[in-house]
Amino acid sequence: MSAISNYLENKLIDATLRGISFTAPAKVYLALFTTDPTDAGTGTEVSGAGYTRKEITFGAPTDGAAIVSAEIIFPAATASWGTISHLAVYDADTAGNLLYYGPIATPKTINIDDQLKVSAGDITITLK
C-alpha cells in the first residue's frame, strides 16, 4: 500500500512544513473494501454480516517501508461480504480517518462462513 488519504497528506504537510503538531493514533485498524477507497475515502467498505475492522501492527520502518508484523484473522462471514478488492488502514475501529489504502493483488470473494486471513509480512506501507 502506498496510496495516502487526503486527510493524512494534509496532516503530514502541516507537521513537516508548517510546524502544526499531529498526534499519531495509538492503534490502527485494517479495513476491507469492495471498491477503491480513493484519497477521499469514498469507496465501499464491507459492513454487517459479522465484519469488523481488525487492529494491525507494523514493524519499524526500513528505507521508507513498514511491514505488518502479526497475523490478522477476520471473523467468519455470516453472509457474503462480496469481492474484496482493496485494503485500508484507519485510525479507529469504526468511523475514524482513512490513512493508507491500496488494491490487493488477487481480489477475494468472501462468502458465508469464509474467513479472510492476512499473514505477517503480507502488507507493506511505503513512502517512496
- Note the pLDDT tens digit of each residue in 40-59: 999 999 999 999 999 999 99
> Which pLDDT does position 128 carry in this prediction?
72
Residue with cell 488477487: 106
Q: Is residue 67 part of a domain?
A: no
Q: Is residue 106 part of a domain?
A: yes
Measured in whole angstroms, the distance separating CA 125 from the mean position of its chain's CA atoms is 10
> Which pLDDT does position 2 carry in this prediction?
77
Total domains in the fold of the chain: 1
Q: Is residue 95 part of a domain?
A: yes
Q: Is residue 70 part of a domain?
A: no
> Which pLDDT does position 44 carry in this prediction?
97
* Cell matching residue 90: 484507519
Do 84 and 30 contact (CB within 8 A), yes or no? no
Q: Give 102-111 pLDDT, tens digit per residue.
A: 999 999 999 9
> Which pLDDT does position 1 carry in this prediction?
73
Structural domain including 95 reads: 3-57+75-114
User: What's 37's DSSP letter?
Assistant: -
Residue with cell 502479526: 70
> CA torsion sign, 79 to 82 to 85 to 89?
negative
Q: Is residue 127 part of a domain?
A: no
The low-confidence residues of the chain, meaning pLDDT below 50, are: none
